Structures are given as structure tokens and as C-alpha cells.
Structure 1
């Protein structure tokens, strides 16, 4: 399904974003473009998510900046809540955080880039679990579960599982508002969830394969 999986150690988030391959976020943008619903990403929300992930996954690199609109105290409260949670604490201790990888989709030849929040290998090395942290405004777990398909987390889970040949994909939802609950969703245990996501990313990668030559030509001309 995918080949040429390559690890790019020590890349920063900015360097990862600069790689030419297609990311899951790029697939979301392509989907919106195909539906005629282009969307502008919220820069404050993007910055908040980036700083939250740093505070959780790489706390030694976390620091406040002069960016406006970010409620730093709330962000730090959420990060502490995650790091105090026993199961999350164990994953963070055993996992490898924020590592960049690229691979090639065999059927289309499209290159993809991935940066899992955590890669957790079993002690015997036979199982690989991928973990993704999502902040959410959902008031309860039931509502959070409805957002999982809405935001195409099924597509992300399937893409990451297939690229890495992993055994599990865990989505950890972190409630932005009090009581700041932490919810666990095992994507690989949900019937039909991964299969549905696989259909989504396969369709979009076929569209990407058709779009890439024309986009490359436009870039060459200008």
C-alpha cells in the first residue's frame, strides 16, 4: 500500500511543513477544494494547537511567545491535565514524540509526510501504537465522538496505520473547558472506522496524483 518509509530525525515542525510531500492536512484542503468549499485556516487555532502539542509532548521546548489571542494559562492547564493522567503519562514516557516520516503511496506514486504525536512500540517490539492528541470544545464524550468522523479523523487514522503498518491508533481528546476531561478513543477497535478512512484517503490521493502534474507545470511557468 505504501513503500519507501523514511525517517527524518530532528526536523522541526516548520521544516516538516516545508517538505514537498502531501500531508493529511493537505488532503483536507484538497477535499474542500473538490467540494467547492475552500476554507481559511484560523492562525490562532493553529498556533494554539502547535503550542499545546509542544507543552504536552516536548515540555522542555515549550515557552510562551508574544502571539496574540492565545490563552496561555488555559493551554498550560490542559497540558498539565494530560501529563497527570495515568494512562497518558505512561504513553508519554514510553513513546517517541514529534518525529517526521515520508513514504510513497504505491498505487498513485504520491509522496506523503506524517508526523505522529507519539509512536509507542511494545517492549517486545512486535506492536506499534500511534497516538494523536486532539483538543476539543465538546461538552461531553458523546459529542466528541460525533466530531471524530466530521473532522475526518478516520482518514488520518487509516493513513497513519497503513503507512507505518501499525497495530493501533489512539485518539486522545482533551476538553478545553472545565472540567478538562481526557477521553480515549481506540480507532482500531471501532467497527468499519479504519475501512471508511482508508476509502477516503485513497480517493483523495488519486485526485492528488492527477492534480500534481498540472500544479508542477504552473510552478515551472511562473
Structure 2
């Protein structure tokens, strides 16, 4: 599915974003374009997510910024996650924010992925990707329902395949009381990864077509792509 997997140690978030490769966010933007939607990410939500990930995964890099964020709440939530037994073990064993690039076999499109955490077994045979998602969902059932809405299945499949990993865990962190932490094994959910793989494959094909024909006008998206 992918080849030429390459690690890029010590890249910052800014350097990662500057790479010319295609990211999962780029695929989201392409999907919105093909469906005729105007995608306007919430700047405050983006700032919150970036700050939470820094405070949780790389606290030595964390600092408050001029962005509008509930800083005290965010910092308390990051501490809560870092102290939770299961998350603490993953954070201890995993490598945070390590950029990888690879090339998609079918389309030749170069992609970039930057998992929150990558845990490699002592033998090197098992590779587990962990992705933290903050959420306002009131319970685990609603959080699972939101996974397809936000294309978590596509991200999970893309990261698994590009990194040649064996497992993808999504950890939902409830932003409001009681601040529950939910662990969803995406690789164990029937059809979840397969659906995500169909999504990213279709979008990479459309991206490759755009590269060949840069003046191509957006056309209605097949239902299979929007699924």
C-alpha cells in the first residue's frame, strides 16, 4: 500500500506542516472541496487542540500563547491524562510527535503522518499508534458515533497503512466533568479500518488526478467517497 517509509526525527510542528507531502488534513480539505463545502476550522478549537497535545505529549514544549483558550482548564485536563494509569504507561513507552513520510503505491502520492504516540514492541514487530481526541461528548456511545462524522476511520487507516503498524488506539478525553477517558481500539472494530481505507484511497486517487490536471473543476463526489 505504501513504500519508502521514512522517519524525520526532531521536526517541529511547523516544519512538519511545511513539508510538501499530503496530510490527513489535506484529505479533509479535498473532501470538502469535492463536496462543494466551505471548510472553516474554528481557530479557538485548533489552538485548544494544539496546546492540549503539547501539554500532554511534550510538556517541555508547552507554553501559553496569545490565543483565546481556557488555559487553566486545559492544563488541568492534561495533568489528569498524564496521571491516568493507562495513559501514563503509554506516554512512558511511546515516542511522541514523530513525523513519517511514505509513498502510496497505487497513486504515487507522497503522504506525511505525525502520530501523537508510536509505541514499538521490544522485538520491533508490533507497532501501536495512539491518537488523543478531546471531546465534548457526554458518553462513550456518543463519542463512538462521532468517529465516522470526523473521519477518524480514515485517519486510523491512513496512519496504520503508511506506518505499517498493527494497532490504532483512539483515546477520547472528555473536556467537561467528569473528564472521563475512553479507549477505542479502532483495529478491533468490525469494518472500521476497511471503511477508512476506502475513504483515503478514493481521496488519494482524486488528489493524484488534481496533480495531473491542476485546472480540473470540482465535480460531484461519488457516494462511496462521501461515506
Q: Distance in 2 between matches of 1:209 and 1:215?
A: 10
Which residue of the partner structure matches residue 66 of structure 1? 66
Question: Could you list the per-position Cα deviations for residues 144-164 of structure 1 after superposition, in whole angstroms to 9, with x for gaps in the alignment?
Answer: 010011100000000011111
Structure 2 residue matching 1:178: 3-state secondary structure: coil
Q: Point out 4+ residue stretches in structure 1 off by more than 6 angstroms.
A: none
> 5+ unaligned residues in a row in structure 1: which ranges?
218-222
Q: Distance in 1 between matches of 2:212 and 2:12?
A: 28
Q: Distance in 2 between matches of 1:188 and 1:203?
A: 20
Which residue of the partner structure matches residue 220 of structure 1? none
Count of residues in Structure 1 that have an aligned counterpart in Structure 2? 216
> 5+ unaligned residues in a row in structure 2: which ranges?
217-227
User: Structure 1 residues 98 and 29 mapped into 2: Cα distance closer, same or farther (>3 Å)?
Assistant: same
TM-score under structure 1 length normalisation: 0.95
Which residue of the partner structure matches residue 211 of structure 2? 212
Structure 2 residue matching 1:28: 3-state secondary structure: helix
Cα deviation, residue 216, structure 1? 9.1
CA RMSD of aligned residues (A): 1.3
2:198 equivalent to 1:199? yes
Which residue of the partner structure matches residue 137 of structure 2? 138
Which residue of the partner structure matches residue 222 of structure 2? none
2:16 equivalent to 1:16? yes
Cα deviation, residue 2, structure 1? 0.4
Which residue of the partner structure matches residue 39 of structure 2? 39
TM-score under structure 2 length normalisation: 0.93
Which residue of the partner structure matches residue 55 of structure 1? 55
1:1-222 pair list within 5 angstroms = 1-67=1-67, 69-215=68-214
Do 2:173 and 2:182's aligned partners in 1 also have CA atoms closer than 8 Å?
Answer: yes
